Structure 1
Amino acid sequence: MTGPSLLTLDPSASVADTAMADIVHAVLSPDEFALFDRHASRRVFGNGEVIFERGSAGRTMYVIVRGMVELDFGQEVLPKYLAGNEFFGELGLLIGSHLRSADARANGDVELLELDHAQFCGLIDSAPGLFAYFLRRTIMRITSHEASLIHQLRRRNNELEAALDNLYSATSRLSHTEELVRTDELTGVCNRRGLSLYLQAARNQGQCPPQGLLLIDCDRFKQINDIYGHLVGDRVLQSVANVLRSIALKDDLACRLGGDEFCLVVARTDRIGLQRRADFILSAMRGLVERSGQVPRACAVSIGAVLLNPADDWNHWYALADGALYRAKNKGGNGLQWHESEALSASD
């Protein structure tokens, strides 16, 4: 299924404009509804029953199968009523730290499709093209709606601004369906699947093979999660990703391998160039730590470095860098260690 190109849309156009109305209307097409129905759980709510409350943490989204739902935003904003095939609560899945902006109640008996994070992610592999178009429409609708609320209430709301920034950024990342399956949702850098595609392309399409690898791990990250919570931990991971993204050149790749482990694959470099990249990362993270308040927004990192032999595969590269990273951790972290043979040759 294909839909209107976002390049043809003018966000300032009148609501009467048919193309914009189709984009911003929160109703699933029959194909989209069937896709969601295959992955969601069904729930029934009685008249007046609360589905979620304003200010609660968003972790699920909903699609109306039958009945009507009332969204009460409070603060002199008129309630909104949703009916069959309309969806709501999607910010809870698109933005990990989102707090609900309305009370949702059943207006009569209501049957809903309910999707948690795992079910929502399952839509990507099931129908990436259809899912990408749904996300594009959703982003346009949310940004338009939130901008209208900000204008109506005439005040700055930090959470809404953060939502707009994230959604505008997501719009560019979702210009092609492929990006849905190769981008880490939390940090916006590449994920393991994207790394695999990158390495495959370098081998099959005659691109310059990678020449250097930095394996980066956050120091004492578990303590940050345990003391300050996972929301703060997520922001720390985003800080690491931002630093890696800022230093990655056109043919390089910044990647989150999982948890608090990242890597930077460098296409063209030597030992001096790779050392400079590592020094920049260490210095940038230390600076962010020093500028943090009581609640950390960054952490120190440990780095394992290795120059690559293009004839070897990723698993071999990773093992060498991981050994160097292990030694950096054993030395107390917040530093760089090279693969042993390179470290010895540098000391000769």
Structure 2
Amino acid sequence: MRFNNPLEIGWQLHALDAIMILINVVAVLYSIRQYRCGRPTYLVLWLSALFYGIILEFTTGMLISRSYIQGEFTAMLTTGSIPGYKTDMPFYILLLYPAINFLGFKLIESFGIRSILARAMSAGVFAILIDAPYVVNGPLSNVRWWQWLDWTLGGRHMFQYWYGWPMADAMWELTWPPLLMWLVWQWERRRAESTAEIATVKRSPLKTLIGFPLLIGLLVNTGGILLSFPIGIAIGFDLPHYPFVLAVALLLLVVLLYSDKQPVGLDRVGWILLAIHVVGYAIVTVANFAHQPVPAGQIVIVTIALVVTAILASYPGYRWRRQGSIIVGLGSAEMGQTAPKRDPDTARVAS
């Protein structure tokens, strides 16, 4: 591991480090507390996302595709000294996947979607919204979190861009995080069906915190390739990528809107995570107005993503409070119909 002089690095790189560190610190502290209370799901999720990201970055990301060059952050992993790797990796990359998936998990959890499959598919909507501010801001010349390379395979370009956003990356966010969360929820369901669930957690922490997360990380990296087949078809036949991405995104949005759900609202930790995400990326995005030429398209995309994420995060709590008000109102009306009427002439206040 090596360190660069932080005074010689652009503030946008420090901002990204801060976003990733803060989200992960909150997520880990919350997960540990939940684990000690007998619910290891959040810690399993965080570790699964960590393993999934490490496996992906050290295989497809930096060894196979070589589709980007990372920026020079304060803390860098010296992967360039490993045979087969040409560049060093910023430390924040290890925190990126847990940050995106943990926030997405908390947001979709607040919707109270009953079906695990529908819940996981709906998570793809949040994954792409959460990823948008990162992936759109990242390659801008005044930000320089990384630089895209022209990745070709068999003479075909793997990336088609929309305001600097590779549509293959968008398809990845629509499919891989949902698979990760589906696997975690399936693990949680099977654990809940166990007759000795608390004892199992106490007796086998190694299996719970290493074995299952590592297995989930491996399954995501293999199964995710199969789920991304629409973009593979587009690449294979040299077709435009965006219709495939749009079709999958609309499908997941329909599932989110029309699935059977009982909203419970976002808890305090969820709001803290969302605030770090929104405020951090908003600062970086607003600063883009000072760059010439102003990247207007990118600013609009990021703004829409942040606003829509905040609106969707607010909806479950609004629905939960509204349903509570309706239930209270119906209960009061029913009591008013059945309760005996008081005679104002005979009513008295006890002295």
TM-score by length of 1: 0.30
More helix by share: 2
Return the structure number with greater relative CO, CA threshold 8 A, min gap 6.
2
